[in-house]
Amino acid sequence: MLTIDRLEFSYPGATTAFHFDLTIAAGEIVGLTGPSGSGKSTLFDLIAGFLTPNSGTISLDDRSILPLPPERRPVSILFQTDNLFEHLSAGTNVALGLGNAIRADDPRVADALDAMELPGLASRRAANLSGGQKQRVALARTLLRNRPILLLDEPFNGLDDATAQPIRRDIARLVVERGWHAILVSHQAEEIATMCARVYAIENGKARLVTEAGSNH
């Protein structure tokens, strides 16, 4: 269980304070909505360790992750863009998930690419991939890293529905299979409704539960 308990944060000099209380079970995707600047990215930065909260805790299976620096947190992130280093090949981008022994010819890299239905693309430069392929390569790296918390920061924006739909399905399947704890930020109501068991709206710096129905599939 990922537990965000009485987490408080405010930017220096800002009047708005953020308060978050949230729990996410293994195999669950929770949706977050809200206007720009409402605090969605702030919550992600707090979970990922890029920001330090004023008070409260974030724990995974009752163990606080706050003492861990970002690089050691059990977190993977899929951004809207810039998930890949465009000068590197798809294979090397995936291999970055192996830690510092980065070898694009590691069999696990090919396995991850195969699992994301990208066979034979290992040597292609990331700059030459389509938007959907780029997100799949990033997902292959996430699969290889296998961190239990997955932060999805509008990863389907900019993709057409036909491209995005199978990726959504793959993510939902992986979350269940691997027992990941996922949070999806999206402005698309239908996307959230399809993927998320529960949906929170962030308003006035607080997450308010708006939907508790739906399915991961």
Partner 1 sequence: MPAGPTFMWRPGRVMSGATIALAIAILIAALLTVLWTTGRSMPTTGSSVANIGHLVRMSAIQAGLSTALSIFTGVIIAWMLDRLRFPGRGLVVGLLSTALVLPSLVIVSGLLAIWGRNGWANLFLGPLGLPTGSSIFGFWGIITAHVILNGAFAGRIFIDRLAAIPSEKIKLGRSLGLSSWRRFAIIDASALVSSIPGVAATVFLLCFTSFAIVLTLGGGPANQTLEVAIYQAVRLDFDLGAAVNLALVQLLVCAVIIIPATTLSPPATLFGRRSTLHWPEPGWLTVLQAALLAALLFAFIAPLAAVLAEGMGPALLAVLNQPAFWAASATSLWIGVASAGLALALALGLAMARGLLSTSKLPRALLGLPVFTYLTVPAVVLSLGFFLLARQLGLPPSNAAPFVLVIANALLALPFVFAAIAPPLEALSARHEKLIRSLGLSSFAQWRHIEWPLMGRPIGYALAVAFVFSLGDLGVISLFGTSEFSTLPWLMYRAFGAYRTNDAEAIAAILLVLSVSTFILIPKLFDWLTHAHD
| Residue of 55, 63, 212, 213 interacting with partner 1 (CB under 8 A) | 55
| Contact criterion met (CB below 8 Å) for 186 and 31 | yes
| Contact criterion met (CB below 8 Å) for 144 and 107 | no
| Residue of 13, 52, 162, 212 interacting with partner 1 (CB under 8 A) | 52
- Looking up tokens 């992130």 gives 77
First to last CA, the chain: 20
Q: Tell me, what DSSP letter sits at residue 125? A: B
Q: How far is the CB of 198 from partner 1 (least distance, A)?
A: 24
Task: Decide if residue 201 touches partner 1 (CB under 8 A).
Answer: no
- Per-residue contact track with partner 1, 142 to 171, x per CB under 8 A? ---x--------------------------
Task: Decide if residue 11 touches partner 1 (CB under 8 A).
Answer: no
- Give the separation between CA 9 and CA 5, rounded to whole angstroms: 12
Task: Decide if residue 135 touches partner 1 (CB under 8 A).
Answer: no
Stretch near partner 1 under the rule CB under 8 A, chosen from 24-32, 42-50, 164-172, 209-217: 42-50
- Give the separation between CA 47 and CA 70, rounded to whole angstroms: 9
Sites for partner 1 among residues 64-83 (CB under 8 A): 64, 66-67, 69-73, 75-77, 79, 82-83
- Give the separation between CA 96 and CA 109, rounded to whole angstroms: 10
Task: Decide if residue 140 touches partner 1 (CB under 8 A).
Answer: no
- Looking up tokens 């999206």 gives 186
Q: How far is the CB of 18 from partner 1 (least distance, A)?
A: 13
Q: Tell me, what DSSP letter sits at residue 89? A: B
- Give the separation between CA 88 and CA 90, rounded to whole angstroms: 7
Q: Which residues bind partner 1 (CB under 8 A)?
A: 7-8, 48-50, 52-57, 64, 66-67, 69-73, 75-77, 79, 82-83, 85, 87-89, 92, 96-97, 99-100, 102, 125, 145
